[in-house]
Amino acid sequence: MAVTIQNIHKSIEVVELVALADHAHTGFYSDAVSVRGNDAVELLAIQGTFTGEDTSNYLTITVEEADMDTDMSVPESTDFSAVAAADLSGAFLVVNGVAATDSDFQRVGYIGIGDYVRLKYTYTSTGVSASNVTAYAILDNPKRGPALDSDDAIDGLTTAFTAA
């Protein structure tokens, strides 16, 4: 008996959190995305070619969350904090050529109650001389919240979604 494949094209939204770039050994934050009103959130971190990663020179990716400010404004960069392990389905592995390697991707589900999430990229030491990375959020049944720009501080809306 044949099974009909479900069409998820209109029930998910893919949001770019990090534009593909070489960040070498400079830590940074991804854009933040509103996850309020979504049924599920999956975060994808994609590593391209790295140069110089090892057990002393590596990349750690963590998930941070924030709530909308009490005046319903966008949270500031300092409002974000690390997500508890209990609010994640899975975990990002350290990119050091051992636990996780370059030219690969990792995914983690967010099951917390925050309004916004973002990724924090932390490089240990300066030995990583090239590290091409990009990241995406996949939102299931999104209610069309805003994505935010958060290089060093989140200061406004950069993308507004419209109903499909």
Distance in angstroms (rounded) separating the CA atoms of residues 153 and 150: 5
Enumerate the β-bridge partners of residue 104: 47
pLDDT in tens, 85-118: 999 999 999 988 887 777 889 999 999 999 999 9
Q: Which domain holds residue 21?
A: 13-144
pLDDT in tens, 23-73: 878 899 999 999 988 889 999 999 887 888 888 888 999 999 999 866 666
Structural domain includes residue 122: yes
Q: Which is higher by pLDDT, 99 or 15?
A: 15
The pTM score is 0.81
pLDDT in tens, 148-159: 444 333 333 223
Structural domain includes residue 51: yes
Distance in angstroms (rounded) separating the CA atoms of residues 6 and 53: 40
Distance in angstroms (rounded) separating the CA atoms of residues 89 and 112: 10
Structural domain includes residue 162: no
pLDDT of residue 2: 79
Structural domain includes residue 38: yes
Distance in angstroms (rounded) separating the CA atoms of residues 144 and 36: 9
pLDDT of residue 130: 78
Neighbours of 92 (CB within 10 A): 20
Please tell me the total count of domains within the chain: 1
Check which CATH number belongs to the domain holding 77 and give it. Answer: 2.60.120.1110
DSSP character string of 33-88: EE-TT-SEEEEEEEEEEEES-SSSSEEEEEEEEEPPPTTSPPPPGGG-EEPPGGGE
